[in-house]
């Protein structure tokens, strides 16, 4: 998959930026962004459902925040399986520490922003 994407971009685009597709880490970062935006889109679609209550919506947001926290812990251990495309690009190799740290930091910032806009509240 990695080689075919690189060949297609080099042949079709002939852009000086196409050289980035030969960099496995750059393509993995791109795949991570695609994966995280896909997850945001899924959450967005769930929140737009008809015949729902604010309680169900709050539960969905809380579940997504819990997933972000869980994924951050997995990434700290070098496990990127929750992002299938990234795992496929990196293959069996252990991801570089800098890449894992970048993903972990991003997930932490996302969780912080979600907590800002959707704070966790305790029921009285």
Q: What is the DSSP string of 70-111?
A: HHHHHHHTT--TTSHHHHHHHTTSPPPHHHHHHHHHHHHHHH
Range of 89's domain?
Answer: 23-117
The answer to whether residue 90 sits within a structural domain is: yes
CB atoms within 10 A of CB 23: 12
The answer to whether residue 4 sits within a structural domain is: no
The answer to whether residue 6 sits within a structural domain is: no
Q: Are 60 and 47 in contact (CB under 8 A)?
A: yes
The answer to whether residue 49 sits within a structural domain is: yes
pLDDT > 70? residue 123 = no
The answer to whether residue 93 sits within a structural domain is: yes
The answer to whether residue 1 sits within a structural domain is: no
The answer to whether residue 13 sits within a structural domain is: no
- Tokens of residue 12, six digits: 């079709």
Q: What is the pLDDT of residues 9-55, one digit of tens each?
A: 555 667 777 777 778 888 899 999 999 999 999 999 999 978 889 89
The answer to whether residue 81 sits within a structural domain is: yes
Query: HSE (CB half, 13 Å, CA atoms) of 18?
Result: 14
pLDDT > 60? residue 72 = yes
Structural domain count, the chain: 1
Q: What is the pLDDT of residues 80-97, one digit of tens each?
A: 889 988 888 887 667 788
5 band by pLDDT with thresholds 50, 70 and 90 = low
């Amino acid at each position: 998959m990695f080689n075919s994407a690189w060949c297609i971009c080099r042949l079709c685009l002939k852009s000086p930026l196409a050289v980035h597709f030969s960099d496995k880490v750059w393509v993995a970062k791109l795949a991570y962004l695609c994966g995280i935006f896909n997850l945001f889109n899924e959450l967005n679609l769930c929140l737009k459902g008809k015949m729902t209550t604010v309680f169900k919506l709050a539960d969905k947001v809380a579940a997504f925040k819990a997933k972000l926290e869980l994924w951050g812990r997995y990434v700290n251990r070098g496990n990127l399986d929750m992002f299938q495309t990234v795992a496929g690009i990196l293959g069996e190799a252990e991801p570089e520490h800098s890449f894992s740290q970048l993903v972990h930091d991003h997930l932490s910032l996302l969780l912080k922003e979600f907590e800002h806009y959707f704070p966790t509240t305790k029921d009285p």
